[in-house]
Chain A
Amino acid sequence: MSTTFELTPREFARFIWRQLTSMRTALLLLLLLVIVSIPGSVLPQQNTDPFSVRQWIEDSPTIGNILLKLGFFNVFSSIWFSAVYLLLLISLVGCILPRSIKHYQALRTQPPVAPANFERLNIYENLESKIDADLLLTEVAQKLKQRNWRVRLDLDQKFVAAEKGYFREIGNLIFHLAVVGIILAVGIGVLFSYRGQMLVREGTAVASVSTQFSSLSFGTAVSEDDLPAVTIGLNKFTAEFERGLIQRGAAREFRADVSVVSASGNQDAVIEVNKPLKVDGSTWYLVGHGYAPRVEVRNAANEVVFADSVILLPRDGSFSSEGAIKIPNGENGIGFITAFLPTAEFSGEPISIFPSPDNPLLLLSAWQGDLGLDAGVPQSVFTLDVSTLERVGVGSIAPGETWELPDGLGSIKFVAVERFVTFDVARSPGGIYALGFSILALFGLVTGLYVRSRRIWIKQSAVNTFQIGALSRNDQPGLDNDMKMLKALCSAVEGKLK
């Protein structure tokens, strides 16, 4: 069975293309992009908050795993999100290129002839004048040219047509092309970017080699070899918090004093929250900080077996921090689950009430046994797996104090309060191009929105009678000014020729 509606593949392709590049499709795709972006802000995302994603899936594993498979925890790199914006990109290119060509051609042709019926224009008016039509039209055309109108003078049909504001369309085209540019710059830039995070304790230094990062990811086109050889030592970290009653405890100042060793030379520098450090193509941002109490652990024979600062992870706004200290020694290993309270207060459970170390206290729970570190199974350094351990006891110590473990197992001394900071180390080369295109887009947008695109005509309709009229695109205001201008021109010409 065949119908008259059957299409050849070629016709079909053309039909699809025309559909895809139509304004209605662009509109629907834009609305669709809004809809598919929403889950990306409602659900936690793997690239910004992997911890919450894991939590989410643990809390509701069935739905969680389905959502995970469908890419809902990675919306902005999911297939369906990419599909929508790629379609939009194609639609955009397919829409803009033909329009650019058409506009280019329009710029090289004359303004259109005067309409047969001026009543269809936005504004029109009749004008009486006893002056010879050819003279008047020629003079008016001349004057309009001087005012940068594109002018068409037709003495056979007795009219002048003039056009102005073609930068509107150019601006619009620049805007859309720049949007294409932004999308490409972002997409390609990702290939050449890397981003990692490191924790640095006061008084120590780190080098930008992959083993020193706590997390590190590369774009497809770069690898470890592209990391610059930079070593950064954290000399001192200063943190100030609000002490007044309003917003008490809110952050007020963070400042890291660092020494930098790099291929381009050595320097001392300061890194603050809004003031990153740029070295050899990489940028170092201060993104977080916390406490790393310095402790000294002795064994039963009173020999020092551990003396270092220990990074603890902040758990709340008052910087109650948690972590673990592990001293493996076969069957006789010792481990501590550790909590640190910068300003300890006892009202029931001990809690911290202020982020600065006003009344620092280290809470410890000691465990003995095989810590399992030799088994080669990777463990988090911040938690202690106590399933195979035996509990020794709990204690709490302030700086300078020592806790003697029960049964003569040894002791632990809280030597001093020290801090660590978290640096993000990144290179994102696409950004600067995207920025350039964005500025271009903004320029094009303003031009496209605010340049008034309009046409005016003056035509002899009868002896001693002229019609003048004007037409604007997109109902833009200001046509009456053009009409006034045209009338003023006519009377000026009249005055001159009298």
Chain B
Amino acid sequence: MNAAVISNWTLLSATIALTLSTFIAVIKLTGSSHPDRFAKISLSLTGLATAFLVVAVFARGIAAGRAPWGNMYEYAITGTLAVLVVYLILAIKNDLSGIAVFVLMPLLLSLGLAQTVLYIPVADLVPALESGWLVIHVSAAIIAGGGFSLGFAFAVGQLLASRKNSKLATRLPSSEQLELLSYRVTAWGFAVWTFSVLAGAIWAENAWGRFWGWDPKETWALITWIAYAAYLHARVTVGWRGGKAAAIAIVGYTSYLFNFFGVNIFFDGLHSYGGL
């Protein structure tokens, strides 16, 4: 069996484990007689899915003979892994079971999309991507995305939890708790994103002779950065804390996602090597 086949099979296993985990998290959320046990089972399954995904991503890298960050399929599976890892780290110290569904569902969607729409077999890189900076710049962007994705899930949870007379709100952690979690992962993602944009600029100077050229990908990276800077300011501005800040976090995440999917699909720039 070669590495590419191992990668595909472990990815399928990860998806199955994650599906079960999500299913159980839903049961837990909608009310069961043993919420704690269900929470634990769901978390263990999430851990199992993460382990499978680690193997899948590594095997993909071995099969390709390079870092597995060359096209959107690879971004999607590595990105999902990044979210899962940040999530598990956070879950060590915090009880996240009340919000798990909001994290797991989009991840499941991401893995599903990866295996159906985005899938392409292993191939080499175009010369523009053959650089040590690929590893630094892209891995930082993906890791930052892990923080932003979780921040987004928590922000959505925060908005739902703050609704009055909502049955769901009573089952979620408090909106204050979710806001704090959201802020922490987002701020962390912001720092890593800053680093990623910086590394990207250095790489661009290396490859294209300018640090910054307003290429669509660069423009949207900056838009994402500014949106999250606005979010950090909103959290310390009277009258913007809470719901409005969460809304800005959601705007930031939308632009992050757009940079990831939209720019590859709609625009024709130097960064167009999504493999679609």
- Would B123 and A431 count as touching, CB distance under 8 A? no
User: Is A367 among interface residues, defined by CB-CB distance under 8 A?
Assistant: no
Q: With A435-B201, A442-B195 given, is the CB distance from A246 to B123 under 8 Å?
A: yes
B276 CB to nearest A CB, Å = 12
A388-403: CB near B (< 8 Å → 1, else 0) gives 0000000000000000
Q: With A23-B236, A242-B123, A246-B120 given, is the CB distance from A283 to B209 under 8 Å?
A: yes
The answer, among B198, B207, B230, B236, for a CB contact under 8 Å with A273, is B207
Taking CB atoms, residues of chain B closer than 8 Å to A275 are 206
The answer for the CA separation of A435 and B198 in the assembled complex, in Å, is: 8
- Would B208 and A285 count as touching, CB distance under 8 A? yes
Taking CB atoms, residues of chain B closer than 8 Å to A438 are 198, 201
User: Is A446 among interface residues, defined by CB-CB distance under 8 A?
Assistant: yes
- Would B230 and A34 count as touching, CB distance under 8 A? yes
The answer, among B188, B214, B248, for a CB contact under 8 Å with A76, is B214
Taking CB atoms, residues of chain A closer than 8 Å to B215 are 48
User: Is A418 among interface residues, defined by CB-CB distance under 8 A?
Assistant: no
User: Is A441 among interface residues, defined by CB-CB distance under 8 A?
Assistant: yes
The answer for the CA separation of A244 and B208 in the assembled complex, in Å, is: 28
Q: With A274-B207, A428-B209, A442-B198 given, is the CB distance from A37 to B123 under 8 Å?
A: no
The answer for the CA separation of A426 and B183 in the assembled complex, in Å, is: 41
Main secondary structure of the interface of B (DSSP, over half): helix
- Would A273 and B124 count as touching, CB distance under 8 A? no
The answer, among B126, B180, B198, B267, for a CB contact under 8 Å with A475, is B180
- Would B127 and A276 count as touching, CB distance under 8 A? no
Of residues A41, A244, A475, which shows the largest number of chain B Cβ atoms within 10 Å of its Cβ? A41
The answer for the CA separation of A247 and B269 in the assembled complex, in Å, is: 19
The answer, among B188, B198, B209, B211, for a CB contact under 8 Å with A276, is B209
A444 CB to nearest B CB, Å = 10
A427 CB to nearest B CB, Å = 9
B236-276: CB near A (< 8 Å → 1, else 0) gives 11011000000010010001000000010001010000010
Interface residues of A in 17-34 (CB under 8 A from B): 23-24, 26-27, 30-31, 33-34
The answer for the CA separation of A392 and B206 in the assembled complex, in Å, is: 49
Interface residues of A in 459-475 (CB under 8 A from B): 474-475
User: Is A368 among interface residues, defined by CB-CB distance under 8 A?
Assistant: no
User: Is A449 among interface residues, defined by CB-CB distance under 8 A?
Assistant: yes
The answer for the CA separation of A10 and B230 in the assembled complex, in Å, is: 31
A interface size (C-beta, 8 A): 51
The answer for the CA separation of A27 and B237 in the assembled complex, in Å, is: 8
User: Is B36 among interface residues, defined by CB-CB distance under 8 A?
Assistant: no
The answer, among A242, A254, A283, A439, for a CB contact under 8 Å with B198, is A439
B interface size (C-beta, 8 A): 56
With both beta carbons as reference points, the residue of chain B lying nearest to A35 in the complex is identified as B223
The answer for the CA separation of A186 and B218 in the assembled complex, in Å, is: 15
User: Is A253 among interface residues, defined by CB-CB distance under 8 A?
Assistant: yes
- Would A449 and B191 count as touching, CB distance under 8 A? yes
Q: With A27-B240, A30-B226 given, is the CB distance from A247 to B123 under 8 Å?
A: yes
With both beta carbons as reference points, the residue of chain A lying nearest to B232 in the complex is identified as A449
- Would B127 and A251 count as touching, CB distance under 8 A? yes
B241 CB to nearest A CB, Å = 11
The answer for the CA separation of A277 and B132 in the assembled complex, in Å, is: 18
- Would A426 and B123 count as touching, CB distance under 8 A? no
The answer for the CA separation of A442 and B180 in the assembled complex, in Å, is: 22
Taking CB atoms, residues of chain A closer than 8 Å to B230 are 27, 30-31, 34
- Would B222 and A274 count as touching, CB distance under 8 A? no
A256-285: CB near B (< 8 Å → 1, else 0) gives 000000000000000011111000000101
- Would A435 and B233 count as touching, CB distance under 8 A? no
User: Is B227 among interface residues, defined by CB-CB distance under 8 A?
Assistant: yes
Interface residues of A in 32-68 (CB under 8 A from B): 33-34, 37-38, 40-41, 45, 47-48
- Would B126 and A250 count as touching, CB distance under 8 A? yes
- Would A38 and B211 count as touching, CB distance under 8 A? no
With both beta carbons as reference points, the residue of chain A lying nearest to B230 in the complex is identified as A30
The answer for the CA separation of A27 and B195 in the assembled complex, in Å, is: 22
Closest 7 CB pairs of A and B: A30-B230, A41-B219, A285-B209, A273-B127, A246-B123, A247-B123, A41-B216
For this complex, 30 residue pairs linking A to B, each with C-beta atoms less than 8 Å apart, are: A24-B239, A24-B240, A26-B233, A27-B234, A31-B227, A31-B230, A33-B226, A34-B226, A37-B222, A37-B223, A37-B226, A41-B216, A242-B123, A247-B275, A251-B126, A251-B127, A252-B126, A254-B127, A272-B127, A273-B130, A274-B133, A274-B206, A276-B207, A287-B209, A424-B208, A431-B211, A435-B202, A442-B194, A449-B187, A475-B180
Known: A23-B236, A31-B248. 16 other contacts (CB 8 A): A27-B237, A30-B227, A30-B230, A30-B233, A31-B227, A31-B230, A34-B223, A242-B124, A250-B126, A273-B127, A274-B127, A287-B209, A424-B209, A428-B205, A431-B211, A477-B184
Residues of A within 8 A of B (CB): 23-24, 26-27, 30-31, 33-34, 37-38, 40-41, 45, 47-48, 76, 186, 195, 242, 244, 246-247, 250-254, 272-276, 283, 285, 287, 424, 426, 428, 431, 434-435, 438-439, 441-442, 445-446, 449, 474-475, 477
